[in-house]
Amino acid sequence: MHRTIFTTPVVNTLLRAGSVAFLKWKGWTIEGNLPAQQHKCVLIAAPHTSNWDLPYTLMVAFSLRLTPYWMGKSQIFRFPFGGIMRWLGGISVNRGQSTNLVAASAAALVAADGAVQLIVPPEGTRSKTRYWKTGFYWIAHTAKVPIVMAYMDYERKLSGLGPEFIPSGDIEADMVKIKAYYAQFKGKNWQQFDHQ
State pLDDT tens for residues 13-56.
Answer: 999 999 999 999 999 999 998 877 778 999 987 766 666 777 88
**187 Cβ neighbours under 8 A, 6+ residues apart:** 46, 47, 48, 49, 50, 53, 152, 153, 154, 193
The pLDDT value given to residue 156 = 93
Highest mean pLDDT, choosing among 46-50, 55-59, 142-146: 142-146
User: What is the number of domains present in the chain?
Assistant: 1
SS3 label, residue 89: coil
**Inter-residue contact 7 to 67 (CB < 8 Å):** yes
Instruction: Assess if residue 5 is contained within a domain.
Output: no
**Is residue 16 domain-resident?**
yes
Q: What is the C-alpha separation between 149 and 165, in angstroms, rounded?
A: 7
Domain housing 80: 11-190
Residue 4 covered by a domain: no
Average of per-residue pLDDT values in the chain: 82
Amino acid identity for residue 50 in this structure: S
Q: Does some domain include residue 196? A: no
Tell me the mean pLDDT in the region 117-127.
63
Query: Is 88 a domain residue?
Result: yes
